[in-house]
Homo-oligomer: A and B are copies of this chain.
Amino acid sequence: MNYEEAKEKFISTWGALGTLWGINKAMAQIHALLWISPEPLSMEDIMEELQISRGNTSMNLRQLMDWGIVFKENKMGERKEYFVSEKDVQELARQIAKERSRREIRPVIKVLKDVSSIEDDNTAKTKELIKQTKALHELADTADTMMNKMVNQEHNWITKTLLKIVK
């Protein structure tokens, strides 16, 4: 496998993985491209490389910036904007965990809490609803608390912790 093949393989694999996890292909691929690029890239560069439109590029770059994993960069004397990805793998993981928790997990935890707190009327179905949503609530809450600890830890905490668990 040469450089070009490897690059394409990485970008398309990252795009496919994103899709599987609810992240659109263009967004995942732009991220992949910036992740392996030693230089900041302009919108033109990205459009060219991934064969996508200007509008698509612009919107997905904005989303990546909203997620806190891509940044704008200016070159002196140049009008054009350039983009770079967060390069540290731990920081990337933390940022993604943080955002998914905030946007997706916490709202669900809130619903689970509310649903599991309805008044018990002693019917089997109500009992089951309460019991099962409470169990989900507890698991989700514990897992989310852990994620948040993770997000606020020192740089190398993730790997150290995972390794400790794995023994």
- A residues within 8 Å of B by Cβ? 1-3, 6-7, 9-10, 13, 17, 19-22, 35-38, 87, 89-90, 93, 104, 108, 111-112, 114-115, 118, 121, 123-129, 132-133, 135-136, 138-139, 142-143, 145-146, 149, 158-159, 161-163, 165-166
- Residues of B within 8 Å of A143, CB to CB, are 162
Q: Which applies to chain A's interface (DSSP): helix, strand, loop or mixed?
A: helix
A121 touches B3 (CB 8 A): yes
Docked complex Cα distance between A32 and B166 (Å): 32
A159 touches B139 (CB 8 A): yes
Q: What's the minimum C-beta distance from A81 to chain B, rounded to whole angstroms?
A: 21
- Residues of B within 8 Å of A163, CB to CB, are 142
